Structure 1
Amino acid sequence: MFRFRDKTLAEKILAGIRKLNLGSLRIMHVCGTHQDTLVRFGLDSLLKEAGVEIRQGPGCPVCVTTDREYLEAAVLAGKGKTVATFGDASKVPCMNGRSLLDLRAEGYDVRVVYSVDDALKLTVEKKLETVFLAIGFETTAPSTASTLLPEPPENFTVLTCHRYIPPAVKAILKMGEVRLQGLIEPGHVSTIIGVKPYVEISESFRIPQVVAGFEPLDLLMAVYMIARQVAEGRAEVENEYRRTVR
């Protein structure tokens, strides 16, 4: 792990970005873990000094779940169902400003779980009519599917609110409100879907994309790869995270 945090190599990559002499570069990522790495290791300020601005995209599962979907979960709780979901999702205002946690304080049966397996276990052991509010992108959808494939008990249902990353990225680019020169795509999502789903985006919008891992050098290298594409007039999908993504 520590080799992906090597300070000397990081300085060399930053020097390579500056050497391309692109002036300013605006790139968007779509992953909360990428944002955490950028801030925690001070990469955002280092990249700004190199003329690169990193924007946050739609990488938060809680944020991209609609008000209507949260409201549906609240209505089901009001009908006597046990609603199970993740902690962050339970705090979102959904019914006249009240969150699922607020509804629990009023007597509704809302449970915070760490996984869909916890929700299923709750259903079996407590014999409850349980609805699991399933949120997230390609990384969490497989775990939901794996629970449903073996035919779970009839008193267990899923309110699925999963999302795909590529359509979300396309929607932002179609708006045309933000000028972007590149996209950093999430490594964990790409481990599941590969790199092909991103090709159409680069071809349609003429924008470079790089699939990146989550260590500091992963992100710096992804930025360099995008900058190099811009300098060479290319708009392709490249894979920095080859140790995991195929």
Structure 2
Amino acid sequence: MKYLAEFQNPELARGLLDDIRAAVTRPWALMEVCGGQTHTIIRQGIDQLLPDGVELIHGPGCPVCVTPLEVIDKALAIAARPGVIFCSFGDMLRVPGTDRDLFRVRSEGGDVRVVYSPLDALRIATENPDREVVFFGIGFETTAPPNAMAVHQARKRGIRNFSMLVSHVRVPPAIDAVMGSPDCRVQGFLAAGHVCSVMGTSEYPELAARHRVPIVVTGFEPLDILEGIRRVVRQLERGEHTVDNAYPRAVRPEGNPAARAMLSDVFEVTDRAWRGIGTIPLSGWRLSPRYREHDAEHRFDVVDIATREPAACRSGEVLQGLLKPNQCEAFGTDCTPRSPLGATMVSSEGACAAYYLYRRLGTPTTPLEASSVV
């Protein structure tokens, strides 16, 4: 990709690290609210290269990880029904429910298919008019617009055998919930650039002012993250708490108006449960009444779902930033990617997965010498 190498330049990374060291006079705790940023931080060893006292806390930035167990169990119940084709992105298939996952449902005869777009599921519905096709719609504001478009197209084209199991969540209420916790140590945030590329930045100034925390929107490459940390630290040292856009190549204050219009048409804001955290008011979306016929929860009437979290799994504490993954007693022993206790170990954006994949490879000496991954 053009210009990608510039955002992985070791010399520029060293310069940013020097700037951060020069600015820091006291300890600070920062939270990134994006699983993609978490993986970059751990893969490149950025957290280990920061000056003493600057701590990165991993927040609830993995949409797969925060999908509540009840919704996972609903997905499993729907996928196991005769006549259903259940479509999902691949990272959901290994996420454990109460007693099985979607891979197990498929091995037991369920028609579970991996797709790369919700429009793939819509195409499958047109090709199988005698089957019920369900797409598992999860994610933050980033994946919500294409999912909304699929439902919009289904209604417009009269594809009645297509429905969506929706578990979309919104980032600003999560930041509000984190700051409202009595155990919160976070003093500044790195906001997810892809979320803000869709929604813009209008929801963040009020949060920054009310909680008196700087919020810096940043991207996902090593230099993006280091620049975001530099800007947060500078604000903290000056006693400021504003919203700063360090990702202007992708983020505009107004976001993407077309995507926001599609979201407003198809979804409505609702309270949403977050796995390991609990219910956060107004933190999610559900299908609006106009599109209710395409709501899989209503179509299949999945109720009375009894859930049970593994007692040994501490992913809820990881998602709240209260615990680092390698501080969990089950990490790497009873809980591995092959036999996970929680979604944070199997999701491509999960913090536990990042620690398992990268932290055991040794401590890098520069952010870019740790890995050849581009």
TM-score relative to the length of structure 2: 0.63
Q: Are 1:45 and 2:48 an aligned pair?
A: yes
State the Cα deviation string for residues 179-216 of structure 1 (Å, max 9, x = none).
11110001111101111111121111111110001121
Q: Are 1:206 and 2:212 an aligned pair?
A: yes
Q: Is the 8 A contact 1:26 1:181 kept in 2?
A: yes
Counterpart in the other structure of 1:102: 104
Select 1:23's aligned residue among 18, 22, 26.
Answer: 26
Q: Is the 8 A contact 2:24 2:233 kept in 1?
A: no
Select 2:239's aligned residue among 229, 233, 236.
Answer: 233
State the Cα deviation string for residues 50-85 of structure 1 (Å, max 9, x = none).
532111111111111111111111222233222211
Q: Which runs of 4+ in 1 moved over 6 A?
A: none
Select 2:127's aligned residue among 121, 125, 128.
Answer: 125
CA distance in 1 between partners of 2:183 and 2:87 (Å): 37
The letter for the 2-side match of 1:54 is L
TM-score relative to the length of structure 1: 0.94
CA distance in 1 between partners of 2:186 and 2:224 (Å): 20
Q: How does 1:89-168 map to 2 (within 5 A)?
A: 89-94=92-97, 96-127=98-129, 128-150=131-153, 151=155, 152=157, 153-168=159-174
Q: Are 1:58 and 2:55 an aligned pair?
A: no
State the Cα deviation string for residues 149-194 of structure 1 (Å, max 9, x = none).
2225100001111111111121111113131111000111110111
CA distance in 1 between partners of 2:211 and 2:188 (Å): 10
Select 2:13's aligned residue among 1, 10, 15.
Answer: 10
The structure carrying a bigger helix percent of its residues is: 1
Select 1:86's aligned residue among 86, 89, 92.
Answer: 89
Aligned residue pair count: 244
Select 1:193's aligned residue among 195, 199, 208.
Answer: 199
Segments of 5+ residues of structure 1 without an aligned counterpart are: none
Q: Secondary structure at the match of 1:111?
A: strand
The letter for the 1-side match of 2:186 is L
CA distance in 2 between partners of 1:21 and 1:218 (Å): 19
Q: Secondary structure at the match of 1:83?
A: strand
CA distance in 1 between partners of 2:187 and 2:137 (Å): 33
State the Cα deviation string for residues 132-153 of structure 1 (Å, max 9, x = none).
1101011100001111222251
The letter for the 1-side match of 2:32 is H
State the Cα deviation string for residues 10-65 of structure 1 (Å, max 9, x = none).
22221221112322221110112111221222212111x35321111111111111
Select 2:186's aligned residue among 180, 184, 198.
Answer: 180
Q: Is the 8 A contact 2:172 2:204 kept in 1?
A: yes
The letter for the 1-side match of 2:22 is K
CA distance in 1 between partners of 2:24 and 2:116 (Å): 46
Segments of 5+ residues of structure 2 without an aligned counterpart are: 253-374
CA distance in 2 between partners of 1:178 and 1:107 (Å): 45
CA distance in 1 between partners of 2:243 and 2:145 (Å): 24
CA distance in 1 between partners of 2:44 and 2:164 (Å): 38
Q: Return the offset for 1:5.
A: 2.1
Q: Is the 8 A contact 1:18 1:51 kept in 2?
A: no
Q: Percent identity among equivalent residues?
A: 41
Q: Secondary structure at the match of 1:149?
A: helix
What's the C-alpha RMSD, in Å, of the aligned pairs? Answer: 1.5
Counterpart in the other structure of 2:38: 35
Q: Is the 8 A contact 2:81 2:110 kept in 1?
A: no
